[in-house]
Amino acid sequence: MKVIVTGGAGFIGSHLVDALIARGDEVVVVDVLFRGLRENINSKAIFIEGNVCDYSVLTAAVSELGGVDLIHHLAAINGTKWFHEAAAEVISVNINATHRVIELALEHDARLVIASSPEAYGEQKVMPLSEQSEAVFSPAHLHQRHSYGASKYLDEVAIQHAVRSKDLDGRIVRPFNAYGPRLPSDEYGQVIAIMLAKAKSGHDIEVHGDGQQTRSFTWIHDVIEGMLLVSDQEGLAGKAFNLGRDEEISILDLAERIAALGSAKIVMQGSYHGDSTRRLPDLTGNQLISWRANTSLSEGLALMNNEL
Ligand SMILES: NC(=O)c1ccc[n+]([C@@H]2O[C@H](COP(=O)([O-])OP(=O)(O)OC[C@H]3O[C@@H](n4cnc5c(N)ncnc54)[C@H](O)[C@@H]3O)[C@@H](O)[C@H]2O)c1
């Protein structure tokens, strides 16, 4: 199969590319290297360094492959600090990139899978998050955190519209706090990698807010398995899948478990505005693809700890 992976130098995208190459697909990675790394990219993939918002970059990817059957769209500005510090850029990239890949998929009659997020539900407090859950966004003057979640929500709207009005074969996946090797650990990175790096180096582990907010962490290879099932199966246009594990842990408990792996102590910090208090996936819809995230947090943390 001829596959374009946008954001294929990033954390999830690079693991997806590895899996696609391993099963014999021809893959072009399009990434602007805003956050992804060249060294993440599988050497058997063709790499185009460029902006997904630029349609000519996407058509160059199609030319490299001599056509396209499937587009996995993961390019986005991810990382909580960016949502606050670069809200306009987050909105612009996340929405325009999705518009461009929808156009590309329609022009080439290709299947499109986009990476949305549980943040598309905003600060919804009723758990688990299901296809019936409403998105809840706080007033924009308070903080701009939802530049990300609201842009993902609008991406989902755009996909659903194109499915209905233009017969797009578009599918949506929502990874729930994926973690594993290559997860960024700098200050713009993601929580497990940041905490593990601090534990290893003996620096304090920061916990934001009261630490009682929970997350459902999902091992990267489980997420990739789910993405492949979503992209391979026929008849899933307009369907969305919560690719998450229903094992909830508070951020404080997580910090304590990770601190115990090294010699770090925990310090409490101010909360991030707009941080959701819980994030638990409803998994009913995943029966369609017979998928569950089987790797427990204990197993995943041990695997990741050994990698670092
Ligand atoms: N990591 C998670 O747990 C998680 C959860 C929910 C949703 N997602 C979504 O999954 C996707 C991948 O997430 P990730 O954690 O791998 O993030 P990531 O930042 O590692 O990967 C995103 C990639 O997109 C690239 N990119 C950004 N803007 C671009 C542009 N204009 N043109 C081309 N490339 C561009 C970045 O350089 C990066 O390599 C994102 O869409 C993200 O919103 C991730």
User: Of all protein residues, whose CA lies closest to atom 6 belonging to ligand 1?
Assistant: 117
The answer to whether residues 244 and 177 touch, using CB atoms and an 8 Å cutoff, is yes
Indicate the SS3 state at residue 179: strand
Task: Give the 3-state secondary structure of residue 225.
Answer: helix
Give the containing element (helix H, strand E) for 214: strand 214-215
Condensed to tens digits (0 to 9), the pLDDT of residues 20-64 reads 999 999 999 999 999 999 999 999 999 999 999 999 999 999 999
Q: By the 8 A CB rule, do 216 and 244 touch?
A: yes
Q: Using 50, 70 and 90 to split pLDDT, how confident is the model at 147?
A: very high
The finding on whether 220 has its CB within 6 A of some atom of ligand 1 is: no
- Mean pLDDT of the region 203-224: 95
| Domain limits, the chain | 2-179+217-245
Check pocket membership of 216 for ligand 1, CB cut-off 6 A.
Answer: no
Question: Cα separations (Å) of 148 from 92, 96, 162, 222?
Answer: 10, 13, 21, 24
Pairing of strands 2-6, 70-73: parallel
pLDDT of residue 197: 92
The reply to whether ligand 1 has any atom less than 6 angstroms from the CB of 223 is no
State if residue 78 touches ligand 1 by the CB under 6 angstroms criterion: yes
Beta carbons of 132 and 125 less than 8 angstroms apart = no
- What is the C-alpha to C-alpha distance for residues 151 and 117, in angstroms, rounded to an integer? 10
pLDDT tens per residue across span 235-284:
999 999 999 999 999 999 999 999 988 778 999 988 888 888 999 999 99
Q: Which regions of 68-157 does DSSP assign to beta strands (E)?
A: 70-73, 111-115
Topology of domain 2-179+217-245, per CATH? Rossmann fold (3.40.50)
Cα-Cα-Cα-Cα dihedral sign, residues 179, 183, 185, 189: negative
- Give yes or no for residue 308 having a pLDDT over 70: no
| Ligand 1 neighbourhood includes 192 CB (under 6 angstroms) | no
Nearest Cα residue to 172 out of 157, 161, 156, 154: 156
Residue ID of nearest Cα to ligand 1 atom 44: 175
Token output for 125: 């407090």
- The confidence band for 215, taking pLDDT boundaries of 50, 70 and 90, is very high
Q: What is residue 132's predicted lDDT score, i.e. its pLDDT?
A: 96
Query: What do you get for the CA distance between the two ends of the chain, in Å?
Result: 33
**Burial (0-12, 13-18, 19+ Cβ within 10 Å), 307:** exposed
pLDDT above 90: residue 75: yes
53 alpha carbon – ligand 1 mean position (Å): 14
Eight-class DSSP state of 287? G
At 295, the amino acid letter reads T
CA gap 176, 173 in Å, rounded: 10
Tell whether ligand 1 has an atom less than 6 A from the beta carbon of residue 97: yes
